[in-house]
Amino acid sequence: MKEIILASSSPRRSALLEQIGLNFRVIVCDLEEHTPPGLQPFEVVERLAARKAMFVADRLTEGIVIGADTVVVWRGQLLGKPSCEQDAVEMLKRLQGSAHEVFTGVALVDAGNNKVEVSHEKTRVIFRPLDEEEIRRYVSTGEPSDKAGSYGAQGIGAIFIERIEGSYTNIVGLPMSKLSLMLKKFGYDIL
């Protein structure tokens, strides 16, 4: 079976792959995460995931490269990773007491034959109301610093989530059901 390579430094994505027993290695992809203005959220995450996977695949002669990118969308605004603690506070103030969507783009590239598959997943998340002191205490834990939308559903941030409509693993950063179906198209069965 072909080697699997994760083009991401995200410990959460690695943990999800480990959780299903996938053997893989990580090659970090430090590309600028810019896209042209005017794209829909699914187009943004698909483009960035594909760029990451292709960047790593171009440096290999074989293997299946997984690229991923996640954004949070609140009332049409794309919320990526916070730039600082105050940015995290402001994002969480917006998200509190309302619904938002999490989009994750997933791209697979076979480095041996340049076969490419790109898709995305969308999950709706409803936050309970939060007060500013609670938000500031959460931000002070450091958990929001490297997460789209400034929260981690797999960490302390789980206490803010009232309801999820869709894939939980998508919120964490890698929709595992979708990924397993994509891998099958590359001849790779998880089970």
Identify the structural domains of the chain with CATH numbers, from first to last: 4-185 (3.90.950.10)
Phi-psi category of residue 89: left, alpha or beta, with phi > 0 → left and psi -120 to 50 → alpha: alpha
Report the mean per-residue pLDDT for the chain.
95
Polymer length in residues for the chain? 191
Question: Amino acid identity of 162?
Answer: E
Whether the model clears a pTM of 0.85, i.e. scores above it, the answer is: yes
Question: Amino acid identity of 6?
Answer: L
Q: What percent of the chain has pLDDT over 90?
A: 92
In 3D space, the residue among 182, 25, 27, 38 whose CA is nearest the CA of residue 104 turns out to be 182
Question: By the 8 A CB rule, do 144 and 157 touch?
Answer: yes
Phi-psi category of residue 26: left, alpha or beta, with phi > 0 → left and psi -120 to 50 → alpha: beta
Confidence of residue 191 (pLDDT cuts 50, 70, 90): confident
Residues 65-111: pLDDT tens digits?
A: 999 999 999 999 999 899 999 999 999 999 999 999 999 999 999 99
Q: Pick the catalytic residue from 30, 69, 131, 146.
A: 69
Residues 22-76: pLDDT tens digits?
A: 999 999 987 777 788 889 999 999 999 999 999 999 999 999 999 999 999 999 9
Let me know if 69 is a catalytic residue. yes
Q: What whole-number distance in Å separates Cα of residue 110 and Cα of residue 5?
A: 10
